[in-house]
Structure 1
């Protein structure tokens, strides 16, 4: 159990930066920003926005570090469902800002089991 300054119930205004790589299509686009936004809205924002995170996330300490791994897994799963992974697109980096000056970053190579 975390015993620091943020141990009591409180809120944050999170911001998520998503980096996806992929091959360009015939008009010079990898993944339409609208589709990335839709993925975020449907699998992340709809489940977490204005929610008590301990009630909606799996049983975990809701640190930015734990949350970003969960978010990565949800986005990757949705990319597979939409055929983006099969088309050669990859989630490369996520950065979750808990405050304007505090963030956690996750890179693809850290999520690959060897």
Structure 2
């Protein structure tokens, strides 16, 4: 089974190693989708949604919301953001019956990245 939580955060960024309009400072309302795969525990849950939300909010959303992402990542493309998110959540979202399966970072309603922990 896959347990899913969606989040939104607003952040600014610029892409200094890109040639085009995104090399200039601009902002997005990002959508973050986090998926945890596992089997239900004795309470019948893969992961308690309250715990899931608290973990992602504290470790990721609160650190990214209303920031300039360049203060955290030198080239904050959706690809690099997704890897950073994975690194923050992989261990905290691993338990006896579940593990982090994938993260999605949506920069716009039609453009996003799916990351499953592959080596980059």
Unaligned runs of 5+ in 1: 80-84
- DSSP 3-state at the match of 2:55: helix
TM-score relative to the length of structure 2: 0.79
Which structure dedicates a bigger proportion of its chain to strand?
A: 2
Q: Which has the higher contact order (CA 8 A, sep 6+)?
A: 1
Q: 2:21 aligns to what?
A: 5
Q: 2:88 aligns to what?
A: 74
Which 4+ stretches in 1 moved above 6 angstroms? Answer: none
Which structure dedicates a bigger proportion of its chain to helix?
A: 1
**How does 1:24-43 map onto structure 2 within 5 Å?**
24-43=40-59
Query: In angstroms, what is the RMSD of aligned CA positions?
Result: 1.7
- DSSP 3-state at the match of 2:21: coil
**How does 1:55-66 map onto structure 2 within 5 Å?**
55=71, 57-58=72-73, 60-66=74-80
Q: 2:66 aligns to what?
A: 50
Aligned residues: 104
- DSSP 3-state at the match of 1:47: helix
TM-score relative to the length of structure 1: 0.83
